[in-house]
Homo-oligomer: A and B are copies of this chain.
């Protein structure tokens, strides 16, 4: 097992686990860049006034103070700093701050750690990496980005050593239009109730709807009917229509959700599903919302979530709407390692270990290593001029596939060439450091 966690909530990986994490990060980064997203990083801290503006979440903030704080230090909420707990708040601030220097629509990805000051005993991650993509427009942002972004995430997730991911989508306009058409007006209360469906079941949700949203039995029945609808194609539209509810917003929402599911089915079949019970985030998103379940690991919860928001930021009279999704990298890597879904072919980058005959010839071994590295072959030099058996053991222990014996080491005749040994097969062949190549599958560690 390549996972360890000595300080609860702060996961760390051993080198083998880190190679898996690097593989995950490199793959999602590559997909983001192939789709035209530019990288940014933001500072880890934001003023408390900005972090605390979101209400309840302020319970989870880590506040900073300088150990040797002085009397003159300004600790007003504008000046006091906390660690960011997501990448959306800092991205909104970044857009506000640099709007004049950015080109809109602005497509960015951001892969960074975030921190949540959870109670230590709760066992949740208190530090974890997220990988976010967002598109933000100046003034307006066309709907088609709500279709394209989950497809980028589907492509990113398909590049990872994990089971198939199912992206479940819903739309605020569908549910709000439906509830309004039903005659319900406290939409937030309805959403809060429906959000508990998986946990407490339909009967209990019905009671909540009656108590908190003032729903009557037929309204409850219709709301539960709506939440029961899911579909890999646009057939859900007819099923919603069959419930007989009419509202202008419902029409708009159904058209959007159908367009999203249909385009996804054509461009990347089997990845995106309409699921009308998805309610999480619908209280602050304004259009599409996304959750993602990993087949066989549904109890992990959503590994990639997000949605459409009509106002990420405002600068003067200009409003910046956006749509974005976020992968919980640390949770995903933790599961990949914990469930042994993938492992690296070796725990070091090294493909070749150059042996050292005696310390006086170390420089010759270093030159062989330099020649191999100059041609892109990761190479290490043996730590000591121990017996060759011990040097081979050094390589074997780390999974380094090849050991190189410089000429003086491999023979007692000066005209002999260097030798390279594949320690997995024992095969040993003459080799020249200016031309020898390992099989491409051995060049770098692979993850599978």
Seen from chain A, the residues whose Cβ lies within 8 Å of a Cβ on chain B are 4, 6-7, 10-15, 18-19, 21-22, 33-45, 47-48, 52, 58-68, 70, 73, 82-83, 94, 97-98, 101-103, 105, 107-108, 113, 115, 117, 119-120, 127, 137, 142, 144, 148, 155, 263, 266-267, 347-350, 359, 362-363, 366-367, 370, 373, 376-381, 383-384, 397-398, 444
User: For A103, what are the chain B residues with a Cβ–Cβ distance below 8 Å?
Assistant: 347, 397-398
User: Given A44-B115, A98-B14, A349-B34: A39 and B22 within 8 A (CB)?
Assistant: yes
**In angstroms, how far is the closest chain B Cβ from the Cβ of A65?**
5
User: Given A4-B97, A142-B383: A39 and B18 within 8 A (CB)?
Assistant: yes
User: For A67, what are the chain B residues with a Cβ–Cβ distance below 8 Å?
Assistant: 48, 52, 58-63, 82, 117
* A83 CA to B379 CA, complexed, in Å: 34
Partner pick for A127 among B43, B47, B349, CB 8 A cutoff: B43
**In angstroms, how far is the closest chain B Cβ from the Cβ of A182?**
32
**Complex: chain B residue closest to A377, CB-CB:** B34
Listed A/B pairs (14) with beta-carbon separation below 8 Å: A12-B42, A12-B43, A15-B38, A34-B377, A44-B115, A45-B127, A58-B67, A64-B83, A64-B117, A65-B65, A105-B383, A137-B383, A267-B363, A267-B370
* A142 CA to B385 CA, complexed, in Å: 11
Partner pick for A363 among B10, B43, B47, B266, CB 8 A cutoff: B266
**Complex: chain B residue closest to A1, CB-CB:** B101
User: Given A62-B65, A102-B14: A36 and B366 within 8 A (CB)?
Assistant: no
**Complex: chain B residue closest to A363, CB-CB:** B263
**Complex: chain B residue closest to A376, CB-CB:** B34
* A285 CA to B263 CA, complexed, in Å: 62
* A87 CA to B379 CA, complexed, in Å: 25
Q: Is the CB of A367 within 8 A of B142?
A: no
* A67 CA to B34 CA, complexed, in Å: 40
**In angstroms, how far is the closest chain B Cβ from the Cβ of A174?**
21
**In angstroms, how far is the closest chain B Cβ from the Cβ of A269?**
12
Secondary structure type dominating chain A contacts: mixed
Q: Is the CB of B113 within 8 A of A44?
A: yes
Q: Is the CB of B43 within 8 A of A7?
A: yes
Q: Is the CB of B34 within 8 A of A378?
A: yes
* A91 CA to B127 CA, complexed, in Å: 17
Max chain B C-beta neighbours (<10 A), residue from A39, A73, A102? A39
User: For A381, what are the chain B residues with a Cβ–Cβ distance below 8 Å?
Assistant: 148
Q: Is the CB of B41 within 8 A of A18?
A: yes
Partner pick for A384 among B142, B362, B366, CB 8 A cutoff: B142
**Complex: chain B residue closest to A129, CB-CB:** B41
User: For A98, what are the chain B residues with a Cβ–Cβ distance below 8 Å?
Assistant: 4, 14
* A66 CA to B122 CA, complexed, in Å: 14
Q: Is the CB of B36 within 8 A of A18?
A: no
Q: Is the CB of B267 within 8 A of A117?
A: no
* A115 CA to B62 CA, complexed, in Å: 14
* A22 CA to B110 CA, complexed, in Å: 12
* A48 CA to B59 CA, complexed, in Å: 22
Q: Is the CB of B64 within 8 A of A40?
A: no
User: Given A67-B62, A380-B107, A398-B103: A12 and B94 within 8 A (CB)?
Assistant: yes
**In angstroms, how far is the closest chain B Cβ from the Cβ of A390?**
13
User: For A44, what are the chain B residues with a Cβ–Cβ distance below 8 Å?
Assistant: 44, 113, 115, 127
* A15 CA to B15 CA, complexed, in Å: 31
**Complex: chain B residue closest to A262, CB-CB:** B363
User: For A137, what are the chain B residues with a Cβ–Cβ distance below 8 Å?
Assistant: 383
User: For A83, what are the chain B residues with a Cβ–Cβ distance below 8 Å?
Assistant: 64
**In angstroms, how far is the closest chain B Cβ from the Cβ of A346?**
10
**In angstroms, how far is the closest chain B Cβ from the Cβ of A177?**
23
* A34 CA to B444 CA, complexed, in Å: 9
User: For A18, what are the chain B residues with a Cβ–Cβ distance below 8 Å?
Assistant: 38-41
User: For A35, what are the chain B residues with a Cβ–Cβ distance below 8 Å?
Assistant: 373, 378-380
User: For A45, what are the chain B residues with a Cβ–Cβ distance below 8 Å?
Assistant: 7, 10, 127
* A72 CA to B66 CA, complexed, in Å: 23
* A96 CA to B243 CA, complexed, in Å: 64
